[in-house]
A = this chain, B = another copy of it.
Amino acid sequence: MPLVKSWVSSANSADHPFPLNNLPYGVFSTESTEPRCGVAIGDMIFDVTAAEVDGLIALSDEPLFDLPFWNPLMEEGPAVWAALRDRLIALLAEGSDAQHKIEGLLIPQDEAEMHMPFAVSEYTDFYAGRHHAQNVGTMFRGAENALPPNWLHIPIGYNGRASSVVVSGTDIRRPWGQLKSPDQDLPAFLPCRRFDIELEMGAIVGTPSDGPISVQQADDNIFGYVLLNDWSARDIQAWEYQPLGPFQAKATATSISPWIVTKAALEPFRCDTPDREFALLDHLKDCGPMLYDIDLAVTMAPEGKDATTIARTNYREMYYSAAQQLAHHSTSGCPMNTGDLLGSGTISGPTKPERGSLLELSWGGKEPLTLDTGETRSFIEDGDTLTLTGAAKGDGYSIGFGDCTGTVLPALSDPYAR
């Protein structure tokens, strides 16, 4: 499918992240408006909350856009998701007779502040990228034992903390935590010294389920995708994670991109999961291409300095799709709800510059990176800004998510001084 032209002219360039083919969903405010629902088109945001009030969008007897998050639309299910997309295309496509009604509802993106696009019900993070699992496993257990025995049979995941999910642009305060230095016998309570990123995609559950669901049903239930940075305190994690997994190491913050890219927009970019050493059990088997060809990158910018691209990879490097993760998540009968967020797990490619975490890029701190500024980094330093970007490249157009960025602030001098 080629670029579909919009009367919003900035949407029609081949490398713009928000052409008419995309139409991602966000929540924005301006100096004069409270947070409300909007759709990115070119350099503008279409105020769909106002459009619904004006009767330009009417999908339900009840308003769907009167709250500052997209969950009410998500709850409506795939038929209404498709109806909204059709309506938005009709309104915004070149030649639309609604142009004069809509021009007053377009807000320049550079005048808007972005907010969380949806209310996160619960957050689950997976560990389903093979190169990442192989790298981390090799560092901790040696190459022979890198992958745990279950890894090739189920998408390993753990429940994260929904309350810690924040929108791109939110500053991230370096956490304190209990950790044990290698040269000490006993742990201490200290600011994290090995603070890291994890380059991930997040899948958002739209349609709830209440019992085991198939991979196809899981794919049907997914509403859309965001970029996701699972900030990780490696030294806190090393001390706490046995035997019940990561806990406070992952609870400081998880940043997501401001725009939810819908499954419909990503449809042309579907691709297969990789070949498998062991066939998956029937309930997890692929039933079609359920990964997406999305180029991903990470940049790091020391305070006041230019950014260096430190990693480039692609979402198709995942071993398990989000649909397989959601299907596995439901096997026990676990109820899954609208607004549940599933992190893919860190996405790394096979070569060193494709690694999606500093832990891997600096090989546990043993091989520090050199930035374009000449500085070196093993882990994040105070003032560093880390930014994830993603784009699916179509025939003369791109599908983007907006940056997923965050600046790391110094740890509090005394976290209990209040």
Q: Which residues of chain A have a CB within 8 Å of any CB of chain B? A: 121-122, 127, 148-150, 153-154, 156-164, 173, 175-178, 180, 186-189, 211-212, 214, 233, 236, 239-249, 251-253, 278, 281-283, 328-329, 331-337, 340, 412, 415-416, 418
Given contacts A154-B187, A211-B418, 7 further A-B contacts (CB under 8 A): A122-B162, A149-B180, A178-B281, A245-B245, A253-B333, A283-B416, A331-B415
6 A-B pairs whose Cβ atoms sit less than 8 Å apart in the complex: A127-B243, A154-B178, A154-B240, A178-B328, A187-B281, A236-B332
Secondary structure type dominating chain A contacts: loop
**Cβ contacts under 8 Å, A253 to chain B:** 333
* Residue of chain B at shortest CB distance from A178: B154
**Cβ contacts under 8 Å, A335 to chain B:** 163-164
Taking A150-B187, A337-B163 as contacts, is the C-beta distance between A214 and B244 under 8 angstroms? no
* Residue of chain B at shortest CB distance from A214: B416
**Cβ contacts under 8 Å, A242 to chain B:** 148, 150
Q: How many copies does the complex hold?
A: 2
- Are B244 and A243 in touch, CB under 8 angstroms? no
Closest CB in chain B relative to A188 CB, distance in Å: 7
Taking A178-B281, A188-B281, A214-B416 as contacts, is the C-beta distance between A156 and B334 under 8 angstroms? no
**Cβ contacts under 8 Å, A251 to chain B:** 329, 332-334
**Cβ contacts under 8 Å, A175 to chain B:** 331-333
Contact of A248 among B121, B211, B236, B331 (CB under 8 A): B331
**Cβ contacts under 8 Å, A211 to chain B:** 412, 415, 418
Closest CB in chain B relative to A193 CB, distance in Å: 14
**Cβ contacts under 8 Å, A241 to chain B:** 243-245
Closest CB in chain B relative to A254 CB, distance in Å: 11
Closest CB in chain B relative to A271 CB, distance in Å: 25
**Cβ contacts under 8 Å, A158 to chain B:** 158-159, 244-245, 247
- Are A283 and B159 in touch, CB under 8 angstroms? no
- Are A159 and B161 in touch, CB under 8 angstroms? yes
**Cβ contacts under 8 Å, A178 to chain B:** 150, 153-154, 281, 328, 331
Closest CB in chain B relative to A45 CB, distance in Å: 28
- Are A334 and B283 in touch, CB under 8 angstroms? no
CA distance A121 to B253 in the complex (A): 17
Closest CB in chain B relative to A72 CB, distance in Å: 18
- Are B156 and A240 in touch, CB under 8 angstroms? yes
* Residue of chain B at shortest CB distance from A192: B332
**Cβ contacts under 8 Å, A186 to chain B:** 153, 278
- Are B332 and A176 in touch, CB under 8 angstroms? yes
Closest CB in chain B relative to A335 CB, distance in Å: 4
- Are A246 and B248 in touch, CB under 8 angstroms? no
CA distance A198 to B83 in the complex (A): 47
Closest CB in chain B relative to A116 CB, distance in Å: 13
Taking A187-B281, A415-B212 as contacts, is the C-beta distance between A248 and B334 under 8 angstroms? yes
> Which among A156, A233, A249, A253 has the greatest number of chain B C-beta atoms within 10 A?
A156
**Cβ contacts under 8 Å, A156 to chain B:** 240, 243-244, 247
**Cβ contacts under 8 Å, A331 to chain B:** 175-178, 189, 248, 415
- Are B248 and A245 in touch, CB under 8 angstroms? no
- Are B283 and A336 in touch, CB under 8 angstroms? no
CA distance A327 to B175 in the complex (A): 14
Contact of A334 among B239, B252, B415 (CB under 8 A): B252
CA distance A253 to B240 in the complex (A): 25
- Are B240 and A243 in touch, CB under 8 angstroms? no
* Residue of chain B at shortest CB distance from A233: B332
CA distance A246 to B251 in the complex (A): 17
> Which among A236, A240, A332 has the greatest number of chain B C-beta atoms within 10 A?
A332
**Cβ contacts under 8 Å, A329 to chain B:** 248, 251
CA distance A127 to B242 in the complex (A): 11
**Cβ contacts under 8 Å, A159 to chain B:** 158-161, 247
Closest CB in chain B relative to A3 CB, distance in Å: 40
